[in-house]
Amino acid sequence: MITPQRQAAAVIEALQADVAVTHLVVLPGAAREPAGDLVLCDVAREGANAVLERLRELGVEHEGAITIEEAGVTLSDSADRAAARTPGKGVDAVVWEEIEHRTGQETRLSMTYLVLLAVATVIAAVGVLLDQPILIVGAMVVGPEFGPLAGLCVGLVQGRWTMVRRSSVALAVGFPVAVALTVLATWAMTAAGLVDRSMLLAERPLTDFIWRPDALSWVVGFLAGIAGMVSITSARSGALIGVLISVTTVPAAANAAVAAAYRVPDEAWGSALQLLVNLAAIIVAGVLTLTVQRLWWRGVRPPARPVAVARPRRPVRQGVRTP
């Protein structure tokens, strides 16, 4: 943290009084822009929200700065004691500022987002025509659509309507652009003699599920939404990769594009419905997961008792008793 000198005393006192804080270091006057004291500390993950709320109440981020970094390995008895006396478990803690920042970066409609989504959709289109699941899986991994979906869920739960609007725009613009570019790519590959309409109409036992939505489509999308939000809130990227290859969003958009390019309306509508089912299931699951996490965390972690800050005692003046 960079804290203005007039706020430094209150910030240090608040950090010293919190049971989750340890390794407190203060460098007076070290910061130049913005000017102030540099304050460093380690915080048990399960107590991070309370610490951040207190710092924001003091207005540190307005005149100074707060930077959060994940500590990889910490060997310290003091850190172990801080984690032990802080209620809850760090692996279950949701640091909302961290989640909002992480998902907020992926909600903006950017050229990088559009390129990745379009490339993933074209790859999936080739996989559909060749009936090759490996290409479908690759397209799922490349697709960046889970970022805006996660941002939409976080925004709805936290009431961050700007994030909700940005995420909705990214999804509402991204998929139509990707589908349109995939239609053009399909026409180009057809003109080059690489693919043809008969490949779409042929038996495709490995990929025809993409345009045949059913109840299991909702179930898989819902479970993927739960796993995806848990992986984001716990910063487990390995689990998120598994989520990306389990939802049929990009492949459904690709199949819709190919079917539209070859004028096969049944597959086009079925694929579009598959896409909507998966998007809706992920959003519902994500919102419910975040809501349950927040309510559960409030229930299992009562307000922590602050550690009393040692203060020097004033000398007691002995009075003189008169007869």
The pLDDT of residue 243 is 57
Residue 123's nearest CA partner among 281, 254, 258, 286 is 254
Q: How many CA atoms lie within 13 A of 97 on its CB side?
A: 17
- Chain segment 79-113, per-residue pLDDT in tens: 889 888 887 776 667 777 777 777 767 778 899 99
Q: Locate tokens 């307005």: which residue?
A: 62
Confidence class for position 259, pLDDT limits 50, 70, 90: very high
Whether this model's pTM surpasses 0.95:
no
Between 87 and 9, the higher pLDDT residue? 9
Residue 270's nearest CA partner among 283, 291, 288, 253 is 253
Q: Locate tokens 């086009």: which residue?
A: 268
CA–CA dist 33, 31 (Å, integer): 6
Between 259 and 75, the higher pLDDT residue? 259
